[in-house]
Amino acid sequence: MKRILVLCTGNSCRSQMAEGYLKFYTQQSAEIFSAGLESHGVNPYAVKAMAEDSIDIAGQHSKPVDVFRGQHFDYLITVCDEATQKMLKGISFREKLHFSIPDPAAFEGEYERKIEEFRRVREIVKKHMLRFIGRALHENTEAAAG
């Protein structure tokens, strides 16, 4: 079973959304985790935006990347520029992918404008995770056929 770690700065929005989509769309055919360079707690706007797309991330927890020290992953996916530049100690991976996704938590505005930004970013995350799954499944199909 493939192991996937999604990493961002605070593990509050983008990586949590990615974890939710990956868990939903891989249907437990992979082990999915997310973490941050720091642990900021799951953002309630991210929970709401994902719930609107029928993905429940309310039970997910924000974790610092250090909790995965000593572990190996098939894929490390970074979803912010700061995380992709960080040298990870004690975590190994077969392949690293990076998606530069804007931080919706950095958006300032009234509730309606803020939730709209979270929805916009949610769709970016969803698009990238679906493409990743398609590529990973394609890779696995070719390996099985060979």
pLDDT per position as a tens digit, 121-146: 999 999 999 999 998 865 654 454 44
| Predicted local distance difference test score (pLDDT) of residue 136 | 80
Contact 31, 59 (CB under 8 A): no
Contact 67, 35 (CB under 8 A): yes
Contact 43, 72 (CB under 8 A): no
- Rounded CA separation 83/45 (Å): 21
Written as six digits, the tokens of 79 are 């979803």
Q: What angle do CA 72, 2, 89 make, to 5 degrees?
A: 20
Q: Is the pLDDT of residue 82 over 90?
A: no
Residue scoring higher pLDDT (8 or 85): 8
Q: What angle do CA 78, 84, 87 make, to 5 degrees?
A: 120
Written as six digits, the tokens of 1 are 């079973």
Q: What structural domains and CATH numbers belong to the chain?
A: 2-145 (3.40.50.2300)
The residue-averaged pLDDT of 12-16 equals: 97
